[in-house]
Structure 1
Amino acid sequence: MSNRSALVITLLASILAACTTRGTPGREATFVECTNGIDDDQDGLLDCAEATCGAHCEDGPGGADAGLPRDAGPRADARITCNALLDVVFVIDVSTSMREEAERLRTGVESIWNAAHALTSNTQFGLVVFVDDAVAVNGCGAFTSIASLQSELMRWRDFCGTNRSPSSDLQNTDCAENSLDALHLAATTCPWRAGATRVIVHVTDDTFAERPQVLSESVAVEHTYAEVASELVSRELRVGAFAVPGVGEPCGAGSSPDVGRGFHAPFGSMPSLPMQTRGRAYDLRAVRSGTLDMAASITELLADEYCTLF
């Protein structure tokens, strides 16, 4: 073979390698490659079973969660020296079907509060509520006591029975609720402090809509999923989402075909919000059946995430 022919073959091989989107054997290494449930390099090892995915997996390659996306934030050895700040904001769906969850949160918030303050006395809690539109309660200012937070949660628990939206007071006539605008409001309005571990606890039992869709024929959604994800990630806000996977529960307008997208599953080509923000997704049906304790899960989330790298 001439030197010219060898050069042509080498160049063709380089072009083909550059054009392929498949990884090389044994080389799943990025966050997306290690958490997408796909054997990208087709070497028989999936996600956390790959040695190169250790940084993205709770127990490292071959550990207890091998083959699963990372679901518990940074590993224990990712703890850093922090400024002893912890910011927590509840973003709660207060539509008619959510009264039980609002009550569970009200009764469990004392243990959550005490556990957070055991991590650091420099902890603050805020609250955002939503149906078709959203309200940052008291401008999302920090509550000064357990009693004041419990009282506010009781007020919104009772509000669930009105079938109205908290800002416009318009009647809620469809299944989807406005998680996106509520999360965007929390991300951009709440007083997140520099150096703090920042956690959003999001609770909803239905799906959401994107701009330019309109909810209940009256409320225009203001943001897209990608915009909300960008705000959450850029502000290093971890999302612990209590949501329902799969088909939604019946509501007055029927039921939503897929309420888990964006929380338990990707939204289109984009990873879920808990996945993008290194948070967690919890099955709200397990909470309702009594097999998952909401307050204990939130307490564990805060303990796991406190003082860890985002």
Structure 2
Amino acid sequence: MLSGVFSAGLVLAACGDSGDGTATAGVTATTPTSESMTGVTTVEPGPTSSNSDSESDGTSEGTGSQSGTTTGAVSTSGPEPTTGPTTTGTTTLTTTTSPFTTGEDTDTGWWETTTSGDMCKPNIDIVFVMDVSTSMSAILQKLAQEILVVDQAIANLDVDTQPNYGLVVFVDDATLINNGTPYADAASLQADFIQWSNFTQSNSQTDGNGSNGDWPENTIDGLYLAAFGFQWRPVESTLRMIIHTTDDTFGDKGAVQSGEVVQHSYDETVLGLQEREIRVFSFVDNDKTGGPGNNQDVSMGFFTPYQGKTPIPQATDGGAFNINDVYEGQLSLSAAINQSVEDSLCSQYIPM
């Protein structure tokens, strides 16, 4: 389901099947047994409205080579934030049809360009936040097939360093892979995409315990965990992006889904992403084909407002694509990701 909606950078939606705070409520998650997948118990302070980025907080951010236990998501005990950073810019939304809607066989050489300008970032960090419930196998397989194409396209851009990649997976729980340390290379990430594609057939939670019996999934904790658990390089020199995939809606803080409690709210997740200048590009359902009967509108929070609040991709100066267009061969997954990288690399971060 992947149709483009763009802001000054781009704009974003969820899936299912069957800064620093004062109080902590950790997200505990472990992965299935695998040499390439390790779980993490997260207990990191959450954001507050006064925190600008947390580069000096000494927690989860660092260089690409940093290792060790990563601290992760928590909720705050005070009132939920309702707005993000104030900006003076305006954003115009348009629907993009090219080059994305030309099919999988399209010549994608359009990204082979040289970026320039004072605002261009020398580093690119991308974390994939993936729904791994039973309906998501196909998108993980496509990512496994195309991630090396994405990596090569980024190598063709005028950046000083190799991209850093990370991975968070979620069903009703959420797991940060590799303790938040970047993958050694794109091939290692590709191997985990294959592993998690196979995992989707288990209909299990990401920690290997409990089954998935409802259709909302935990996008919110997945995004929060990526924002505060991955070892992002400094914001001043790094384009920070999340590639998010789901075909369902999500629960907000306190919701109980298949026995798992959602730890974070929509508001604090959006605020945390904004404060760390992370752009979210979501591949989500925009065709009213979600839910247990494949007939539910699950676009809220991605393509359309959630409880009157700005959709996550738009709020984070990112973008949203209809995931069904990928499944139907109308949208090249790698082309959409690479265009999003190129469009963002030299653009000012303007959240809404």
Seen in structure 2, the aligned counterparts of structure 1 residues 54 and 188 have a Cα distance that, compared at 3 Å, is closer
Once the two structures are TM-superposed, the CA of residue 242 in structure 1 deviates from its matched residue by 0.3
Query: Alpha carbons of 1:232 and 1:54: their partners in 2 closer, same or farther (altered >3 Å)?
Result: closer
Task: Tell me how far apart the structure 2 counterparts of residues 83 and 140 of structure 1 sit (CA, whole Å).
Answer: 21
C-alpha distance 248-214 of structure 1, shift in aligned 2 (>3 A) = farther
* Aligned-residue RMSD, C-alpha: 2.4
Distance 1:83 1:262 in 2: 28
* 2:261 maps to amino acid: A
Q: How big is the shift at 1:308? A: 1.8
Q: Quick one: distance in 2 between partners of 1:80 and 1:274? A: 25
Calculate percent identity across the aligned residue pairs: 33
Q: TM-score, normalised by structure 2?
A: 0.65
Q: How big is the shift at 1:148?
A: 0.9
* More helix, by proportion: 1
1:180-195 paired onto structure 2 within 5 Å: 180-194=220-234, 195=237
Mapped contact 2:127–2:167 kept (Cα < 8 A): yes
Distance 2:117 2:261 in 1: 42
The alpha-carbon deviation at position 234 of structure 1 amounts to 0.8
Cα separation, 2, equivalents of 1:210 and 1:113: 34
Is 1:86 matched with 2:124?
yes
TM superposition outliers: structure 1 runs of 4+ over 2 Å:
53-58, 77-83, 117-122, 246-251, 254-258
Answer whether contact 2:291 2:298 (CA < 8 A) is retained: no
Measured in 2, the distance between the counterparts of 1:250 and 1:221 equals 18
The AA in structure 2 aligned to 1:106 is A
Does structure 2 conserve the Cα–Cα contact (< 8 Å) formed by 1:183 and 1:228?
Answer: yes
> Structure 2: where are the runs of 5+ without partners?
1-6, 12-87, 97-114
Report whether the alignment pairs 1:98 with 2:136. Answer: yes
Q: What is the TM-score normalised by the length of structure 1?
A: 0.73
1:308: which partner in 2?
Answer: 347
Q: Which amino acid aligns with 1:142?
A: P
1:238 is paired with a residue whose SS is strand
Compared CA separation, residues 287 and 124, structure 1 to 2 (3 A): same
Give the distance between the partners of 2:215 and 2:288, measured in 1 at CA.
12
The 5-angstrom pairing of residues 124-163 of structure 1 reads 124-163=164-203
Partner of 2:289: 248
Match of 2:215 in 1: 175
Shift of 1:288: 1.1
Q: Note the alpha carbon deviations across 1:57-111, whole angstroms, 9 max, x for none.
A: 38xxxxxx4xx79xxxxxxx99534450111000010110000000000001001
Q: Which structure has the greater CA radius of gyration?
A: 1
Q: In structure 1, which of residues 196, 200, 208 is the aligned counterpart of residue 242 of structure 2?
A: 200
Equivalent in 274, 282, 302 of residue 313 of structure 2: 274
How many matched pairs? 242
CA distance in 2, matches of 1:261, 1:152: 29
Partner Cα distance (1:56, 1:213) in 2: 32
Which residue of structure 2 aligns with residue 212 of structure 1? 254
Compared CA separation, residues 111 and 206, structure 1 to 2 (3 A): same
With CA pairs under 8 Å and 6+ residues apart, which has the higher RCO, 1 or 2?
A: 2
Question: What residue is the counterpart of 1:122 in the other structure?
Answer: 162
- Aligned residue identity for 2:313: P
In structure 2, relative to structure 1, the CA distance for the partners of 1:147 and 1:260 (3 Å cut) is same
- State the match for 1:109 in structure 2: 147
Q: Is contact 1:206–1:256 with CA below 8 Å preserved after alignment?
A: no
